[in-house]
Amino acid sequence: MTAARLPRSPIEPVNPVLNVSRSANLPHVPGIRVGDYIFLSGMGPIDPLTGERRHGPIAEQVRTTLNNVKHMLESTGSSLTRVVRVHVVLADIADIAEMDRVYREFFPVDPPARTAWSMQLRFGNGCEIECVALGAALA
């Protein structure tokens, strides 16, 4: 079998404020596209206007984070409906019900496979979310 060599390219958010890894000089990119597969870095509750972390109630943090995930996917021509796998990491496992409540607003139909758990997070974030998605469906 001869596998074609897939092109690998970093994802650039349309809104440069959300390129947190660049502004904070972290050693990762926001996401990588490999052929029609998209791998996003773990994202946190960054205010898309200011670039500051929004550490309010968990529902608000999850909503901000998922809106940022949405933006990142749309920046590469994909969308939330093309997500296949999600990791949701919470700082506090007790927040899982509240996270779910907001999460389902973003994935109302045929949601992706998901794993959610809790462990220590950096920067005081209440949640961090990463995903794998596919490129855009044909119109």
Applying CB under 8 A, the residues found at the interface with another protein are 36-37, 82, 84-86, 93, 96, 100, 103-104, 107, 110-119, 132-138
C-beta closer to another protein: residue 29 or 134:
134
Helix (H) / strand (E) element for 97: namely helix 96-106
The minimum distance between CB 84 and another protein, in angstroms, equals 3
The minimum distance between CB 107 and another protein, in angstroms, equals 6
The minimum distance between CB 79 and another protein, in angstroms, equals 11
C-beta closer to another protein: residue 54 or 82:
82
Measured in degrees and rounded to the nearest 5, phi and psi for residue 52 equal -80, 155
Strand partners, 86: 114, 131
C-beta closer to another protein: residue 49 or 138:
138
Distance of CA 37 to the CA centre of its chain: 14
CA 73 to CA 70: how far, in whole Å?
A: 5
The minimum distance between CB 134 and another protein, in angstroms, equals 5
C-beta closer to another protein: residue 20 or 58:
58
Q: Among 127, 48, 132, which Cα is nearest to 89's?
A: 127
Residue 28 DSSP symbol: S
